[in-house]
Structure 1
């Protein structure tokens, strides 16, 4: 989310803030320009229109998200499925925290029925599924993992990974947990790791550790 000029970055950050606060349809180009302290012509220059800006917010976040998955996949052959999955959990949760506003908006928006969301699900989220599925299949094959229903297990795991961004107000107002802070992300990652060890992992001679993006 940070590979653009300062002006372009300011526009994206302003758009994400306003899209999340007011909703996409209630936010105007003028609102975004005022928030970003830029001329509205800059938005047209970089994104053509508001729809183009929305699509950029999605694809920029999700391209970086897929990169996190691909980077962590290298651990599968090096350290095995258990380490790979634990590290992937930490990487994903840390990435969401570092891009918290984008994650909140995108996961909330992706629950709506739209052409953009159908494209996102058929590309990025399908690729995400393929990586997780491959790790689970390899773990079951080499007896690092118990045999589970892969679609059902992925549904549970996806729920755990997105809970901090989808239920932020509940976390903060009711549980007094702040998922946008590294301290709580690390605690939550360890709890998800414990869930994996209790429900999926077959005991090995080593003690798996959560490592990766802090």
Structure 2
């Protein structure tokens, strides 16, 4: 990574950390620059202002997230829909773990009513719904998934995938489960596979899950 990109990433990481600890409005540009080890002018150079930095945190995360889903849909017609859905769920959980701070921040902030959030709901989340619905409809047409209320299933699936991030403090301090750890991610993935098998697959199929170098058949 170039020094320019390293500086930019340091600013983003500092901002995400402080936004969650202090809140967006209580965090100043100076707070961010101090934690990132840069001067305030550097933040202005990359993002113009704090609001520009906030928008970048949202859009960069969501664009990469949507690209991940779109990549899976490119092969949906030629692969088993159940395997495709489970593979997608796994990739999303791994993506969230890799981008833990960003995912935790985005999912928590999106619940607030703001002009930025409304814009994100009408663009990024609408695209996500379109992609997930297309995947589910293909599975139903092929006879792999049973008929169901797609909006309700998508809401349930999203809720399950985002729960460890939305309730991260509860998970860590009450349940002693740490969402940012690989072991938790893989064990949680097993439960999501079972949810899919129980709720939408007419005849559950075996699907391999690699955990600690061993293949576990679900």
Same fold (TM over 0.5): yes
Does residue 131 (structure 1) correspond to residue 150 (structure 2)? The answer is no
CA RMSD of aligned residues (A): 1.6
Aligned with 1:5: secondary structure? helix
- Alignment partners' CA distance in 1, 2:136 and 2:121: 20
- Alignment partners' CA distance in 1, 2:55 and 2:127: 18
Q: How does 1:1-214 map to 2 (within 5 A)?
A: 5-203=5-203, 206-210=205-209
TM-score by length of 2: 0.92
- Alignment partners' CA distance in 1, 2:39 and 2:49: 13
- Alignment partners' CA distance in 1, 2:193 and 2:136: 15
1:173-211 Cα shifts (integer Å, max 9, x gaps) = 22211110111101111110110001100116x522347
1:76-127 Cα shifts (integer Å, max 9, x gaps) = 2232210110001001111001111111111111100001001111111111
- Alignment partners' CA distance in 1, 2:162 and 2:75: 23
Gaps of 5+ in 1: none
Does the 8 Å CA contact 1:57/1:102 hold for their aligned counterparts? yes
Q: Which structure is higher in RCO with an 8 Å CA cutoff and minimum separation 6?
A: 1
TM-score by length of 1: 0.93
> Aligned pairs, how many?
209
